[in-house]
Amino acid sequence: MADHAAPPADVQEQETRMLRDSIRGFMARELTEARIAECEAAGDLPWEMVGALRQFGYLGGLLPEEAGGYGLSYRTWAMMMEEAGYRWLSLRVLLNTVNIVIALLHHLGDARQKEKWLKPVMAGEMPVWVGITEPDHGSDVASVQTRADDKGDHWLINGGKLWTTNGVNGRVGILVARTFTEGCEGDLSLFIVDPEETRFEASRVGTMFIKATATSQLAFRDARVPRENLLGPAGKGLKAILTGLNYGRLNVAAGATGAAQRALDLSIDYVRTRRQFGNVIGRYQLVQKLIVDMTVRTEAARALTDRAAQALDAGLPGRKECSIAKLYASEAAHEVASMALQAHGGLGYSTDYPVERLFRDTRGGLIPEGTSEIQTLIIGREILGISAFT
């Protein structure tokens, strides 16, 4: 980050509002409901949509300016992820994936790796994936079984990944694998997998939510990865991935808050105009109770997300704060979306209206980056100093 004094708080707030308004206007113009519906039906979000957001700092914006980033604060980043979630949660998910890849390449990559992969990824030219979850191992990252054996000039990879975002479209991916080499007997490492260098199978997996993210299954059978594609030291991948997951929890919380706000805004507009029994339905007490409950949950989610971002900005690990934000915001967003469906009545079920998609997509937020149950155990460990993980 450039060495200069931070601007006054009121100037920072004004700059953040201007950035938010620019992002909101761009997304409203470029990501219309009609275009989103086309992408959902096709099961793909064209990568140029992701690349178009580079101008706002969505690709590597947290990196320091000398590394090609914008030196953004986590509070500003959370606002940006909230705007992405407000417009479309599939977009938020892809932005999370690409920025995890950017962060790992920036912090662990050598000069060659940064030149070959980091630059085009940050330019929005190279679709990416991150392979962590396996058919038998999800929340328990430390137990993944995909194996990398040292064969001298290359690594031999065997295993499989599941629920991999954008796996069928990615031009580069980062794979987590248990590594066997001299000095490393089964610890986790990270590998850069380029389909031009490594042959593996990628197939789509149908899901009920985030339909445009090309969720995939990957299969590696004696797949050769060049030796120089090891990312960072052998056996040191677990800490890097867990750090990335913590950052990802802030992104999930912010995106969930945005989705909740969208569901609330749609509901407010609807109950102000929909008439039943001679009145707009917003006049009825039970409908007002729905709107108030939705508002309370949305504002609480935003406050907890902001608290997590402030912890990261202060240089703290933020494990408890990010897990609290992710736990509450993801659950609150689905509750708000459910209330929005109730407020809209039959219209809420229509696939031609965004409430139905919000209901499905917010349910998805309760599982990735650690389920609600895993967040509960992380928070308990941070509070008590006693781990329930065995």
pLDDT of residue 7: 58
pLDDT of residue 1: 35
Q: Which residue positions in the chain have pLDDT lower than 50?
A: 1-5
CA atoms within 13 A on the CB side of 296: 7
pTM for this prediction: 0.93
Residue linked to tokens 């056996």:
235
Q: How far apart are CA 144 and CA 158, in angstroms?
A: 12
Among the options 125, 369, 373, 382, which is catalytic? Answer: 369
pLDDT of residue 73: 95
- Taking domain 9-122, whether its CATH number is 1.10.540.10 is answered by yes
Gyration radius of the chain over CA positions: 21
Q: What would the two tokens of residue 330 be? A: 């993801």
Just give the CATH number of 128-238: 2.40.110.10
pLDDT of residue 3: 41
Q: How far apart are CA 360 and CA 376, in angstroms?
A: 23
- Taking domain 239-384, whether its CATH number is 1.10.260.40 is answered by no
pLDDT of residue 390: 67
The domains of the chain are located at 9-122, 128-238, 239-384
Q: What would the two tokens of residue 374 be? A: 């895993």
Active site residue 321: no
DSSP code string of 269-308? HHHHH-EETTEEGGGSHHHHHHHHHHHHHHHHHHHHHHHH
